[in-house]
Amino acid sequence: MLASILTIVLIVGGTVLLSWPLGRYMAALFSGRFKGADRLFAAATGGTGEQDWKQYSFALIAFNVMMFGFVFLLLATQHLLPLNPDGQGASSLDLVFNTAASFTTNTNLQHYSGESTWSYLAQLGGLMWLQFVSAATGIAALAALARGIGGQASMGNFFLDVQRASFCVLLPLAMLLASGIALAGVPMTLEGAAAVTTLEGATQTIARGPAAAFVAIKQLGTNGGGFFGPNSTHPLENPTFWSNALEMIAIILIPMACVWMFGRIIGRPKHAAVIFGVMAALLAIKLTAAVTFETAPTQAFADLAVTQDVGNLEGKELRLGATTGPLWAVLTTATSNGSVGAMHDSLNPLTGLVPMAGMWLNETFGGVGVGMINMFLYIALAVFVAGMMVGRTPEYLGHRIEGREMRLVVLALIAHPLLILGGTALFAATPWGLDTLGNTGAHGFSEILYEFSSAAANNGSGFEGLGDNAPAWNIATGLVMLIGRFLPIIVPLAIAGALMSKRRSAENAGTLSVEGPTFGVMLFIVILIFGALTFFPAAALGPIAEHTALMR
């Protein structure tokens, strides 16, 4: 228990400390304080004039369409292209569609195993490139939103913001992290697989490749797509406790910094502290629950001659320490990362509920940039509910929140459960889902529920027992990822655009302060009620039913 607490304090506490200076730096960067760099970026792309919300959104969509198209072509033709030492063949087009959608949307849901599917060119030039620019897209969108509701005249420029995020935030951090995990033992080579003869004389072929560079940006950009199939449970992707610590810090570092960045751009750091506190409280609850549930030994070994003095070890790695499974599971789903440090399908049933809850709420720090954007929707909802309770026109930072804005907020918030529950219902009732299950009964239902939650939340982790490389899964989750990505980015920009066009009122003694604990509690309650009411019935059919029926 002591080791668990020490590990959590090291990882989470350490990252909180690091996130503050990073957030300050990012706020300065996106406020145009590095003029030399900005001139260089303007020269590189051109078209860097000020944009309103529509122009910013069109630029974002245009570039994202190009990201998707380029990587679709690259993946579809990889068998004809160089840098393919292990001779990977052509993939099915539905898998290519799903993978291109998955990495464009910062999801990194993987219906394949990297070491047996993609060439090094596809991994580096296609998937790793998207891991940079999709993360940069999210950070850029947050900067634009903050400028809009912070009272600036324009939303900035998308092409400039993507370069700021890619070159001044993601790239230097990725260089540091890649060097760190390479020193810990993650391979970085363009050589193909190694053939060895084992001590007993058998032949073993060991996949390797340029993993260190890939894994670093996978963790930092809340991407989560592993170089190897089993992600960061693979010893070459995560060889030691210390590579594991670095990779876990990288999961939440930028999402945390985004909250501070938001607060500084809108000029209200105290408001950011309240938001950070609410997110941290949610994280603490999930961590406590997951770590506690996972100390129960494996039910499957209960009647056998097996020592049951350690927690559930199925799907876990010894070198990463006992806490890694639940801790990583919470961090990766609190943010929209989706990498794994243990197999989520093999977690105890109630532990498995915690990552699902993380994806349902999707704003406990959340994805880089987009987590804070999701939180903005909940803030608008909380402000509205509070305004109704006291009978005043709801205001947020002097912006009057009216019917038009609330309709947009509700549209974005309702889309998330609709995609998850609608998709789950469809696949749980048809052979599309039923024929692909890796486990039966309530746990099988959980596999379907998890997959749609992961796609809609742009998370990318999975209950991997599911046979998800099938056309129905590839197409359905591909579409869910695209809607779940772009709707919650464009709609908040539209809301900010609507707020910008109205006159701001001065805050007075009657205005609900967004900088105090009252607002924090209000926000916390709104999130829990919305999340619990929406998803509790599905949770009861899946993990809760499995726990009550089968765990002793």
Partner 1 sequence: MQYLLPSLRLWLVTFLVCVIGYTALVLGFAQAVVPFQANGSIIVADGRAVGSQLIAQDFTGPRYFWPRPSAVDYNGMGAGGSNKSPTSPGLTERAEQTVARYGATADNPIPADLVAASGGGLDPHISLAGALYQAGRVATARGLPAAEVKRLIEAKAISAAGSFAPERIINVLELNLALDQLAQ
Of residues 173-192, those binding partner 1 (CB under 8 A): 174-175, 178-179, 182-191
Exposure of 304 by Cβ count < 10 A (0-12 exposed, 13-18 middle, 19+ buried)? exposed
For partner 1 (CB under 8 A), the number of binding residues is 122
Instruction: Tell which one of 1, 17, 195, 509 touches partner 1 (CB under 8 A).
Output: 195
Q: Nearer Cβ to partner 1, position 363 or 546?
A: 546
SS3 195: strand
**Interface map 132-171 toward partner 1 (x if CB under 8 A):** xx--x----------------------x--xx--xx--xx
Fill in the per-residue mask, 469 to 508: x = in contact with partner 1 (CB under 8 A), - = not in contact. Answer: ----------------------------------------
How far is 29 from 50, CA to CA, in rounded Å?
Answer: 16
Phi and psi at residue 195, in whole multiples of 5°?
-100, 125
Pick between residue 187 and residue 366 the one whose CB is nearest to partner 1: 187
What's the closest the beta carbon of residue 71 comes to partner 1, in angstroms? 11
Closer of 405 and 468 to partner 1 (Cβ): 468
For the CB of residue 549, give the shortest distance to partner 1 in the complex, in Å: 8
Taking the complex as a whole, how short is the minimal distance between the CB of residue 458 and partner 1, in angstroms? 20
Site for partner 1 in 247-276 (CB under 8 A): none
Shortest distance in whole angstroms from residue 222 CB to partner 1: 16
Interhelix angle for 349-361 vs 517-539, to 10°? Answer: 120
Give me the 12-51 binding string for partner 1, x by CB under 8 A, dash otherwise. --------------------------------xxxxx---
State which of residues 17, 80, 153, 304 lies at the interface with partner 1 (CB under 8 A).
Answer: 304
Contact 343, 230 (CB under 8 A): yes
Judged by CB under 8 A, which of 261, 340, 361, 490 binds partner 1? 340
Number of Cα atoms under 13 Å in the Cβ half of residue 174:
26
State the DSSP H helix or E strand holding residue 547, giving kind and residue range, or none if neither: helix 545-550
> In angstroms, how far is CA 259 from the centroid of its own chain?
15
Round to the nearest angstrom and report the end-to-end CA distance of the chain. 23
**Token pair 């030492």 is at which residue?**
85
Which residues sit opposite 194 in a β-bridge? 206
Partners of 203 in the β-ladder: 197
Asked whether position 327 contacts partner 1 by CB under 8 A, the answer is no
In the region spanning residues 43 to 102, those forming contacts with partner 1, defined by CB under 8 A, are: 44-48, 58-59, 62-63, 66-67, 70, 86
Question: Could you tell me the smallest distance in angstroms from the CB atom of residue 243 to partner 1?
Answer: 11
Cβ distance to partner 1 smaller for residue 96 or 174: 174
**Binding of partner 1 by 312 (CB under 8 A):** yes
Report CA dihedral (490, 495, 496, 502) to the nearest 10 degrees: 150
Contact status: 208 vs partner 1 (CB under 8 A):
yes
CB 122 within 8 A of CB 75: yes
Least Å distance, CB 284 to partner 1, is 19
Among the residue ranges 21-29, 230-238, 248-256, 419-427, the one whose residues contact partner 1 (CB under 8 A)? 230-238
Among 443, 481, 484, 535, binds partner 1 (CB under 8 A): 443
Residue 2: phi and psi, rounded to 5, are: -60, -45
Binding residue (CB under 8 A) for partner 1 from 15, 99, 107, 233: 233
Instruction: Record the tokens describing residue 171, joined without a space.
Output: 């790239």
Please tell me whether residue 225 binds partner 1 under the rule CB under 8 A. Answer: no
**Residue 200 DSSP code:** T
- Nearer to partner 1 among residue 115 and residue 363 (C-beta): 115
Pairing mode, if any, of strands 194-197 and 203-206?
Answer: antiparallel
Burial per residue of 309-330, b for 16 or more beta-carbon CB atoms within 10 angstroms, e otherwise: eebbeebbbeebbbbbbbbbbb
What whole-number distance in Å separates Cα of residue 70 and Cα of residue 100? 9
Q: State in angstroms the smallest separation of the CB of 408 from partner 1.
A: 23
Q: Radius of gyration (Cα) for the chain, nearest Å?
A: 23
Q: Which of residues 380-409 bind partner 1 (CB under 8 A)?
A: none
464 binds partner 1 (CB under 8 A): yes
